[in-house]
Amino acid sequence: MQPGDILPLRFDIGLVTLSFVISVLGAYVALMAAGRIRTIEGRVSGGYVAVAGIALGGVGTWSMHFI
């Protein structure tokens, strides 16, 4: 059995670029939300915590790996 017999060893540059763009956008949104987690009064905003977690883990990383 030779390398590439089961899975073809080629990449589509468009899908690689799309994967990179999605991961960068997910990280950007997560960092923007993380910067707003703590309010002026010192409380933690649960909504921004959820947005940061979903953007980084749910959309950014997961989508990047499955494209």
Is pLDDT above 90 for 21? yes
Give the bridge partners for 42, in sequence order: none
- Structure pTM? 0.75
Spell out the domain ranges in the chain.
22-66
Closest CA to 61 of 3, 20, 11: 20
Convert the pLDDT of each residue in 23-52 to its tens digit: 999 999 999 999 888 887 888 888 999 999
Residue 30 CB neighbour total at 10 angstroms: 21
- 23 and 64 Cβ atoms separated by less than 8 Å: yes
Task: Please give the mean pLDDT across all residues of the chain.
Answer: 87
Q: Supply 24's token pair.
A: 């960068």
Angle of helix 13-34 relative to helix 46-53, nearest 10 degrees, comes to 160
